[in-house]
A and B are shown apart, each in its own frame.
Chain A
Amino acid sequence: MAHGLHDHAPAHKVLPRDKAKILKIWKTALLLAVVTAIEFLLAFTMERGSLLFAVFIGLTLVKAFYIVADFMHLKYETKVLVWSIILPTMFVIWLIVALLAEGDAIFKIRSLWGWF
């Protein structure tokens, strides 16, 4: 091989761009942008209430999934790593339940005492 004889041959060969992989990255980006646009649209077309908030939270989780799974590449890691990250975040669910209930209780006590 003639290349190997050069003194200044690069230590690492630059590989060509992986068109399919790059296209997939842009597709994920487009999806995130579209979901954000939908959220934005719904904020002004749907009536504020539990249904709208549930839709917002659902769409947020969709975006979170694509960022973590695709951009952060977690989908392609070993199972044990995936669960090491996902399982502990489950504690947050309890935090949400506990503190929102607590907030509601504070509201009731304040109303009872005429705090507002």
Chain B
Amino acid sequence: MSTITVSEKDQKNIWGGGVEPMKASYGKLMMWFFLLSDAFTFSGFLVAYGMSRFAFPAYTGSVKDFVPSLEYWPIPEKIFTHIPFFHVEAPLVFVGIMTFILIMSSVTMVLAVEAGHRMDKADVQKWMLWTIFGGWAFIGCQAWEWTVFIQGTPEGLKLASGEVIKGASLTMNEYGPKLFADFFFFITGFHGTHVLSGIIMNMIVFYNVCIGTYERIGHYEMVEKVGLYWHFVDLVWVFVFTFFYLV
């Protein structure tokens, strides 16, 4: 009998070594626990956003008449109205497209993992490429959104003192309390950094797929591991979308 076999009687020794009690490899487990810690980081960010929002007055008038002011927290759908190439007010449409791009790239990642299970190198390559493409598309959209947010509206915000603020920085913004822009930069920026590192990891794994590394070692588990990371990035965006843009 090999040490891998665990009989009913030996169940209590399942954690004694020589077996995988969680039936997952070391690398996959560590990716899961890393993602757990990363989830806490993002929770910290989003909960801090919630706290700051509760610490500021809410806008009480009707949504239609909303105008940005330093006095109260803004309504996000009134701030994120820009859509590239169309000179119309399109609240949340651009961010909706970004959400769709990220979900689609998550799907192509699952399809790459599925192809890896079948040892289908050509399919893994195809779906990894789509995933990388989706990632770049998302980053591109985010860069565009940041540019618009930083530049601000043509009119800007006129303060009581007569001073006009245009756009946003870490110390001042025309959309509301300065913390609003700070959280925008930190939360979407930290998420964007995750997307970027995810793309880089995907590109490295794609390269390894191409040169046949995983075919040689006999499995495509590395695709699964970067896949876990990539889905996590999508998962975080789902929460950012709700708590930063919708609520």
Contact = CB atoms under 8 A, between A and B. Distances in A.
A and B are interacting partners: yes
Interface of A: 11-18, 21-22, 25-26, 28-29, 32-33, 36, 39-40, 43-44, 48, 53, 56-57, 59-60, 63-64, 67-68, 70-73, 77-78, 80-81, 84-85, 88-89, 91-92, 95-96, 99-100, 102-104, 106-107, 110-111, 116
Interface string B85-111: 000000110001001100110110111
B47 A29 contact: no
18 contacts: A12-B119, A22-B114, A25-B107, A26-B107, A36-B96, A36-B100, A43-B91, A60-B239, A60-B242, A64-B238, A67-B234, A71-B234, A89-B39, A102-B51, A103-B51, A104-B54, A111-B57, A116-B71
B225 to A, nearest CB: 11
Interface in B68-83: 71, 75, 77
A32 B215 CA distance: 33
Contacts of B111: 22, 25
A104 B54 CA distance: 5
Given A11-B218, A15-B120, A18-B114, A64 B103 contact: no
A91 B107 CA distance: 30
A92 B100 contact: no
| A15, A99, A102, A116, most chain B CB atoms within 10 A | A99
Given A11-B215, A36-B99, A116-B71, A92 B43 contact: yes
Contact of A81 (B22, B91, B106, B118): B22
B32 interface: yes
Contact of A103 (B55, B106, B218): B55
A20 B120 CA distance: 17
Interface residues of B, number: 61
What are the 5 tightest A-B residue pairs by CB atom distance, in nearest-first order?
Answer: A103-B54, A103-B51, A15-B118, A106-B55, A99-B51
B128 to A, nearest CB: 15
Given A33-B100, A67-B231, A15 B57 contact: no
Interface string B221-235: 000100110011011
Interface string B165-183: 0000000000000000000
B68 to A, nearest CB: 16
A29 B104 contact: yes
A68 B247 CA distance: 23
Contacts of A110: 55
A102 B53 CA distance: 11
A79 B194 CA distance: 28
A100 to B, nearest CB: 5
Nearest to A91: B40
Interface string B46-58: 0110111111110
Contacts of A56: 242, 246-247
A64 to B, nearest CB: 6
Contacts of B71: 116
B134 to A, nearest CB: 12
B4 interface: no
Nearest to A57: B242
A99 B50 contact: yes
A89 B36 CA distance: 8
